[in-house]
Amino acid sequence: MGLDDDIAILAAAPVFESFGQDALRLLTFAAERRVLRPGDVLFARGDPADGGFVVMSGTIALAPRVAGAAPVIAGPSALIGRLALFVRGARPSDATAREPAAVMRITPALMRRVLEEFPDAAAEIRAGLAEDLSGLSVGLERVRAMLAPG
């Protein structure tokens, strides 16, 4: 896969779709790459979440968080661990390669560097996160209203 292919895959991934070519190029050069065989574990539930992963090729199965639910399948341009781009925590589920796959790991330190060098990208991410939080608040308010007594 060439540089232009990597940039195109990153540009289609959530969070990075508003990044300019220079920011995407920096991510492509500085991110850690990992190649997985079918059945390889990318991470396990409870592992430290020390960065997000963009699926570059193949598919990764994310174990359901709720018993009986189907796994989530992440293919090219999927972002696994969006919150882990910004803060460290613990992985909420297992992630396993279903077929040969390649991922790009973006650490919080790399993300911080890109956002410092490209403040327009930082503003876009902030706006997107604020919109997500607003949507969550509206959803929680609906649930509260449904649960409130008569």
Q: What was the pLDDT predicted at 130?
A: 80
Can you give the pLDDT of all 150 residues of the chain as single tens digits?
688 899 999 999 988 988 999 999 999 999 999 999 999 999 999 999 999 999 999 999 999 888 888 999 999 999 999 989 998 899 999 999 999 999 999 999 999 999 999 988 888 888 877 887 788 788 888 888 888 886
Q: For position 77, what pLDDT does the model report?
A: 96
Range of the domain at 32: 3-147
Domain count, the chain: 1
Residue 115 structure tokens: 């956002």
Dihedral of the CA atoms 119, 74, 106, 17 (nearest 10)? -20
Provide the CATH number for the domain around residue 120: 2.60.120.10
